[in-house]
Structure 1
Amino acid sequence: MKFKLTTIAAAILLNPVAMADEADDKVKDIERLTVEGKYLSVNQSNSIKSPTPIIDVPQSLSIMTAEEITARGITSVGQIIDYTPGVNTSQGEGHRDAVVFRGVRSTADFYLDGNRDDVQYYRALYNVEQVEILRGPNALLLGRGGTGGILNRVSKKAQTGQAFTNYNVSANTFGAYNLQLDSNLDTGEKSAVRINAMYESLDNHRDFYYGDRYGFNPTARFEVSENTIVDLSYEYVDHERFIDRGVPTANGEPVEALENIVFGDPENNYQTMDADVFRANVQHTFSDSLKGNFNAFYGEYDKVYSNFYAAGYDADANVVTLDGYVDTTQRENLILSANLVGEFTTGQIEHTVIFGGELVNTDSNQDRYNPVFDSNSDDQEQFFVSRPLDFRGLTGTNIDGVTVTAAFSDINDDTHAKLDVYSFYVQDEIALTENFDLVLGARFDSFDIEVFDARPTELVTASKKDEEVSPRAGLVYKPQENISIYASYSESFLPRSGEQYANLNNDADKLDADTFANQEVGIKWDFENGLSFTAAIFENEQTSLVIDPNDDESVIEENSDVSGFELQLQGNLTEKWRITANYSHLDGENADGLALRELPENTMSVWSSYQVNDVFGFAIGAMFQDESFVATREDSPVLPSYTRVDASAYYEVNDKMRVQLNVENLTDTLYFPNAHSTHQVTVGAPLNARLSLVGSF
């Protein structure tokens, strides 16, 4: 089995005529085909929900296929982000995926087959066909949020007429290991079952770190008729891991001398998460010019997050102040959605119209308890810095030499939120001429939330309803089939209840939703020699209403904006040499003129692979992240810039087995990739390697 090109590279290698012919075929048979790489998957799981080739989408986007994820030894969303332009990682307090999309920090703009996946956790990649990252507001087709961009995981689905079993077994130098199985069973001429399963034992360079992740995802496909396909899926998720929130800062930067110290309680810094997720999708062809997708999604989640962390640090006295909390979330998400894609002409003008709707019902219960130390009846206590800290099992010795004990007994929040959303959207892709396409659309969202504050001292209910219309417009000019030049405008919004529906307690929560507007101009160019180049210039502006500090009966607007440009180059330089290179430049500030947190001015990455012969190949990559601020304030500490070098090599034992070595941080650089707040800065992993056995039978 040769080390193949990813499907996106294969699509780019097609000549323009073949690309155009294939695009026509895909439109005619949308209900049957998912084309990774060239198209965003063209069924209900599609992030753009219409059969539009990437070159014709007036928006910046990146795709990483399952094949490329395996080849690079990637096991987390964060590793994909490292090599994607315009986005970077945030810490997520050590228990969740957190991405900064063009300067907008998010823990909820994640999707699974186009369905909102907003519970906070680390997402596994064992069952994905590809990962799609769209940048810029995306409210028209995905609703609220997505203010800086979104990340959509497209899941693997059962395939009729095929029988295969793939496996991936790997272990790294920290002691972690991973087992994955992907088996497709042909159960008849018009049905199939596919089972994806994983187990991962977690370990890394930090003291006390541990974890286990289980995933089990059976899917089934039924071709009910020539015009109807039904996909069913169930996924069980069981995650547990140690929570590490990093190290403090001093003198405006992370304290390198503390790189090996964990600031927490080894027995009470943990996360557990159990989930059951059901999905059903029906694809139906009504006629040659009208297709439909109908989707049902139900997810039930139960999560516990417990932690202590550094809330203060005195470098001269060698003293750290610990704070903490335990937080639980129980959430049920029900999403029903449908869309129709129709093609017709008016005179000489061709139209591809998508019309859809979505109903969302969410019940979310969250509570948080702060610790109380018996030494001071406060939620914070001071300890001398040592490795390890003298604090374990909620007991330790403070700086006065007194044995102290903490208990999570002070209720901070206890909210029960009910959310009802209904939405309608329409978009028309208009082929004005052979060279000009116009995209026009709008979405209406009704966002109705009710939050009950269940704290014994409160016992009050608050509610709020937002109704927003989010427009989108784009103009695409194609001087020739393999080049598109576009300009686009899009909007999105974020209700005041926030990403996790926490509360509506204060006056500011009753104000109108924050709105985001994005303007973008770009070019996409597929070269005949197998290279694809894209570039985009953009500006994303956020408008928020705040209470006037001089008149609490009035509100004023505050604006912040992020502008910049991105460059992407990917494809084959020669038959054996493939390259992916990205660069982004970002500049952003808030209404007070302060630079935004975790917004590096320059980021760049390159991944270059070379196939030496039929059985051996290697790759080397590097990523650079400029310095950025930990917080949006004048005296914010700075995350230093860094460069990390990675590499890989593989050997094909036979046509059914490959041995693969992936090395991260080849130069053993000490770096700090992200943070949550002033004294919670992530310590990047030192030199490490992962050995994998990848094959099929």
Structure 2
Amino acid sequence: MNLSDFRRTLLVATTFATSAPLLADDAGPGDYLAEGILVVGQRDGYATDDGSSGTKTPTPLIDVPQTVSTITEDQIDDQAITQLADALRYVPGVSLSTGEGHRDAIYIRGQSSTADFYLDGLRDDAQYYRPLYNVDRVEVLKGANALIFGRGGGGGVINRVSKVADPLHPALTLDGGIDSFGAFSIALDANQPLTNGVGARINAIYEDIDNSRDFMSGRFIGISPTVTAELSERTRVSAFYTYDDDERTTDRGVPSLSGAPLTGFDRTFFGDPDFNRSTNVAHIARLRLDHEFTDSLSANLTGQFADYDKFYANVTPSSTDGTTVTLGGYSSRTDRRNWIGQGNLVWTAQTGPVGHTVLAGFEAGDQETIADRGEVGFGGGLRTVTVPLARRLALPAVTDAEISRRTSSDLTFVSGYLQDQVAIGQHLQLIAGVRYDEFTLDTVNLLNGQALSRTDRKWSPRLGVVVKPMQTLSLYASYATSFLPQSGDQFTTLDANTANLEPEKFRNLELGAKWAIHRNLFATASVFQLDRTNTRAADPANPGLVVLTGEARVSGFEASIAGRLARNWQVTAGYTYLDGEIRSDTSAAPAGRRLQQLPRHQASAWTRYDVTSTFGVGLGAIYQGKQFASISNAVTLPDWVRFDAAAFWDVGPRLALQVNVENLFDADYFSSAHGDNNIAPGEPLSVRFGVRLKL
């Protein structure tokens, strides 16, 4: 079997699978052979060999010249995770931001983002908390790679892969759980074949939100139906819809004192429980067509519409002297509609010892956003207030004072890309390609009528070399770039400066190795250097002007392993070393400062061991080195380690019980920050009891 045939087999085999193993001598129940390749059932541990998200072609992960971390459905279930941020804590190279208490916000290899999130390869960039009830796996693709993902993604991107309908096998699963804080959830996963080649699936969840912090409350409702129709042996149509409705307290954490997080007030709510609220309603609809013209030529076409209605309001701490605390506040509303179309043509060919997998594609879209910000008033209209520190703060009445910003923006983009994966014999592969983006942002200040526009046209190359001394080992080198317009990653406004400035540029150089130790155990290691240039800085000759001379660099090492050490023993573990600093003065900081929320050392491990066929235990640990809360380098978050544990009991073929313990030894730590005075205390020891019923 040549490489092109293997890739085509992998694409078919992984349509409803989470891993495509490499060796056929370790088959288990539910596994089967397809063209000589052993295919593992849908739920088979913590490893995957599907690298298609990194190339938009049917490529084994071992042949992708890029670091990719995957959180499978089994790991999500075993750790009883319902939110994306909680899953990412076990991923090396990823740090979490507090996200203003109302959204997912991440640092990947030292680069912050609130927009580098994808759903089945399409951008999902609004600011909200992303659930996992309808997700098959989460992929973290690290390093700049605009050829595949377009703008942004300087440090990498997060891609969620949706659960899909199976036209062949009916299934019904009910999940429920409650934790020691009183939070609970009830979830449904139902799949039903309808007619020949047609299946429907629905995932739904109701989640009540609570934790150790005073006044924390909320609820989440999610419903996600999907239909898959095999119109012929070569044509498939898939339709997806998601309705997510989230309402919760906006919690900004604690302030800092003397260069460290304020201690002794881990449960104190530094806000107004009646004012600090966040709501989001998201509708996402997607239609995808896959068609094989021949065994070597295939195409897919996807259209997606997304509507987000987001509001949050908060009182937030700004400083403390240890006796009193000063607070301010604001509110924000964002109404966004995204239209995205994407098409890909994949052609495989073999000429003697040389194989080609050619990708030609396009992406186009339109994003309309109306956003406003309101300031708050305290008592007699004061913008800030200072009150005594206490377990429960005594605040004057909080009201919306005025709208300080209201904008309308229209973002349109069109992209085209071409990539060739060349296999020269059995031991050498080259990947080369380029993407062209035309990116236009029009904004209107609705308060004064000022209209501004900016168009950027960028070429983004990618080059990789993969050497395979054997089929189960690859050594690679890669170069890739990305860009981010100066308006920032949410694209809600332009000003006189940003409308005239070229985008920031990201360049990623990486050397790595990937080893398929056996069919379901995968190890990776890499070293990398990420340079960020074209960052805004004050003109030394004229401080009133802005120039693009700012630079930053992050260098690091990463290693990970995931899969089965034995048939009854699964593990996922990783370590990252990161070193990053400002290399040339920027508007935010002078040269020499360490990048914010960039721990020098990160390590994590999670393992599940099945003692018997019906009983298993799990144990996990996370270590995060000390880091600066912001680019000021004035506040340090101490290093910390946390242990988690779990127990699993299959009462019968249809009933399973589960217990998860988070922070087993009740460690005190601070998990994330949003600046120097919005620091999130880590959760104390908590226990969750879960039950799963398969009908």
> TM above 0.5, one fold?
yes
In structure 2, runs of 5+ residues without a counterpart are 1-15, 585-590
- Give 2:452's match in structure 1, choosing from 450, 459, 462: 462
Partner of 2:249: 242
> 1:390 maps to what in 2?
394
Mapped to 2, the partners of 1:462 and 1:576 lie a distance apart of 60
Aligned to 1:400: none
Structure 2 residue 55 is the aligned partner of structure 1 residue 48: yes
Matches within 5 A, 1:219-368: 219-315=226-322, 318-368=323-373
Residues 211 and 435 of structure 1: is their aligned pair in 2 closer, same or farther, counting only changes over 3 Å?
same
How far has the Cα of 1:433 moved from its partner?
Answer: 2.3
2:514 equivalent in structure 1: 524
Q: Are the counterparts in 1 of residues 616 and 649 from structure 2 also a CA contact under 8 Å?
A: yes
In structure 1, distance between residues paired with 2:283 and 2:407: 22
- Could you say if the C-alpha distance between residues 26 and 91 of structure 1 is closer, same or farther in structure 2, counting changes exceeding 3 Å? farther
Measured in 2, the distance between the counterparts of 1:680 and 1:384 equals 18
Letter in 2 for 1:287: T
Question: What residue in structure 1 maps to residue 523 of structure 2?
Answer: 533
Deviations 1:631-654 (A, max 9, x none): 1124x1100000000000111100
- What residue in structure 2 maps to residue 3 of structure 1? none
The amino acid that maps onto 2:411 is L
- Post-superposition offset of 1:411: 2.0
Residue 392 of structure 2 aligns to a residue in which SS? coil
SS at match of 1:80: helix
For residues 133 and 24 of structure 1, do their structure 2 counterparts lie closer, same or farther at Cα, with a shift above 3 Å needed? farther
Report runs of 4+ in structure 1 exceeding 6 Å deviation: 6-10, 15-18, 21-27
Q: Identify the residue that residue 674 of structure 1 maps to in structure 2.
A: 672
Identify the residue that residue 149 of structure 1 maps to in structure 2: 156
Aligned residue for 2:313, secondary structure, equals: strand
1:380 is aligned to 384
CA contact (8 A) 2:251 2:276 kept: yes
Return the offset for 1:662. Answer: 0.6
CA offset digits 1:298-326 (Å, max 9, x no partner): 011111110000012122xx111111111
Change (3 A) 1:510 1:541: same
Question: Distance in 2 between the 1:453 and 1:387 partners?
Answer: 41
Indicate which of 426, 435, 442 corresponds to 1:443: 435
Q: Distance in 2 between matches of 1:124 and 1:364?
A: 23
Give the 3-state SS of the residue equivalent to 1:93 in structure 2. Answer: helix
Say whether residues 1:584 and 2:581 are aligned partners.
Answer: no
Query: Residue 550 of structure 1: which of 532, 541, 562 is its match?
Result: 541
Check whether the contact 1:16–1:482 (CA below 8 A) recurs between aligned residues: no
AA in 1 matched with 2:675: S
Alpha-carbon distance in structure 2 between the residues aligned to 1:555 and 1:356: 35
Distance change in 2, residues 1:206/1:52 (3 Å): same
Q: Name the residue aligned to 1:641.
A: 639
Distance 1:347 1:589, change over 3 A: same
Residues 34-73 of structure 1: pairs in structure 2 closer than 5 A: 37-40=47-50, 42=52, 46-73=53-80
Tell me, yes or no, if structure 1 residue 84 matches structure 2 residue 94: no
2:562 paired residue number: 570
Preserved CA contact (<8 Å) 2:272 2:398: no
How many residue pairs are counted as aligned between the two chains?
665
Distance change in 2, residues 1:36/1:642 (3 Å) = closer
> 1:12, 1:38 within 8 Å by CA — same for their partners in 2?
no
Contact 2:45–2:564 (8 Å) recurs in 1: no
Could you report, residue by residue, the CA deviation over 1:98-153 in whole angstroms, capped at 9, with x for unpaired residues?
Answer: 11101001111100111100011111100011111111012111100111011111
CA displacement 1:163-194 (0-9 Å, x = unmatched):
11112111111100011101111111121111
Give the residue type in structure 2 aligned to 1:662. Answer: N
Which whole-Å CA distance do the structure 2 matches of 1:651 and 1:142 have between them? Answer: 41
**What stretches of structure 1 of length at least 5 have no aligned partner?**
1-5, 397-404
What SS class does the counterpart of residue 69 from structure 1 fall into? helix
The aligned counterpart of 2:414 is 422
Distance 2:200 2:659 in 1: 32
2:51–2:62 Cα contact (<8 Å) kept: no
**Distance (Å, rounded) in 1 between the aligned partners of 2:100 and 2:662:** 23
Query: Residue 121 of structure 1 corresponds to which residue in structure 2?
Result: 128
The whole-number CA distance in structure 2 between the counterparts of 1:124 and 1:453 is 33
State the 1:348 CA deviation: 3.2
**Does the aligned pair in 1 maintain the 2:615–2:647 contact within 8 Å?**
yes
Show the counterpart of 2:473. 483
What is the CA–CA distance in structure 2 between the aligned matches of 1:430 and 1:417, rounded to whole Å? 42
Identity %: 38
Secondary structure of the residue aligned to 1:257 is coil
- 2-structure distance, mates of 1:214, 1:521: 43
> 1:168–1:694: 8 Å Cα contact kept in structure 2?
yes
C-alpha separation in 1, matches of 2:142 and 2:153: 8
